[in-house]
Amino acid sequence: MIKIANAPCSWGVLEFDLGGKAAGFEQVLDEIRETGYEGSELGDWGFMPAVPSELKHELDKRKLAMVGAFVPVFLKDRSKHAAGAELAVKTARLMADAGYPEAFIVLADDNGSVPERTLNAGRVSAKIGLTSEEWQIFAEGANFVAAKVKAETGLRTVFHHHCAGYVETPSEVDQLMALTDPALVGLVLDMGHFQFGGGDPLAALKKHQARIWHIHFKDCHPEIAAKSALEGWDYFQSVGNGVFCELGKGGVNFPAIVEELTRQNYSGWIVVEQDVLPGMGNPKVCAQKNREYIKSLGL
């Protein structure tokens, strides 16, 4: 049975060091529950309580589950792998000890840290991609982190392709899947990031079915994406201008995606993520509209 969650990033709680004030965890969890979701992701380390019993208490009193935690690691640099694995294990242990052994570590590149990838998000070329040697190091790092997490906590790891990182385009996703261990590293397919990165999420859902262990529902507004390319916006300008719009208002074919998920007998979580900058918009209203849209699709 598919269950629907939301995430702190929909309230402007992002991994980037940005200005503006985002909501606190109590408000985020309250509003996730009030708008009809069954679970949440953790947000950055320190956003929610880091003591397992306290985290479980906050979730239980709202009848929410913890479904995963985003952990960015600069995998291109082998010297960063050990510290990245340490953070991932610490995060996974918190979720496991709080009683969520099915939650995922959502591993990602250290997105937004490389200027040329950040500037060209949504329109990157192979010229600013990884070399063959760098790909090997990157994949080695992903395997290393996932192996540590699994050995020390029992939790599984999914990789999050992401605009403004080194795994954004369909070919980059294909390359990472080819180079990583399918027993260790799954894929979280983020519909909005995949579309903004130049791909067809429905095609990816079919192509990578065996590796997709987790799903993010995010939409991508084609006109805003086109304007981003025309105006030369960087990733943060694109987000601030609403490239990740409310579900059903962009170019992602969610009815066909839900049909395909049903055909595949997908039974995991779908996490709604409508990335906004801190203080941007009205997250609770958007969360409600996104939940109503998903209900209209039968979920």
User: Tens digit of pLDDT for each residue in 1-37?
Assistant: 899 999 998 987 865 454 556 679 999 999 999 999 9
pLDDT at residue number 126: 81
User: Tens digit of pLDDT for each residue in 118-166?
Assistant: 999 999 988 899 999 999 999 999 999 999 999 999 999 999 999 999 9
pTM, two decimal places: 0.95
Q: Report the C-alpha gap between 22 and 37 in whole angstroms.
A: 20
Q: Report the C-alpha gap between 296 and 272 in whole angstroms.
A: 15
Pure H helices in 72-200: 81-97, 115-119, 132-153, 170-179, 191-196
pLDDT at residue number 240: 87
Q: All domains of the chain, ordered by start, with CATH?
A: 3-296 (3.20.20.150)
* Residue whose C-alpha is closest to residue 92's, from 29, 146, 53, 48: 146
Instruction: Please say if the pLDDT value at position 85 is more than 90.
Output: yes
User: Quick one: which H or E segment has residue 269?
Assistant: strand 269-272
* Residue whose C-alpha is closest to residue 122's, from 197, 218, 208, 217: 197
User: Tens digit of pLDDT for each residue in 208-257?
Assistant: 999 999 999 999 999 999 999 999 999 999 998 999 999 999 999 999 99
The residue with tokens 């992401």 is 162
Q: Report the C-alpha gap between 156 and 39 in whole angstroms.
A: 18
Please, are residues 88 and 152 in contact by the beta-carbon 8 Å criterion? no
Cα atoms found within 13 Å of the Cα of residue 43, Cβ hemisphere only: 24
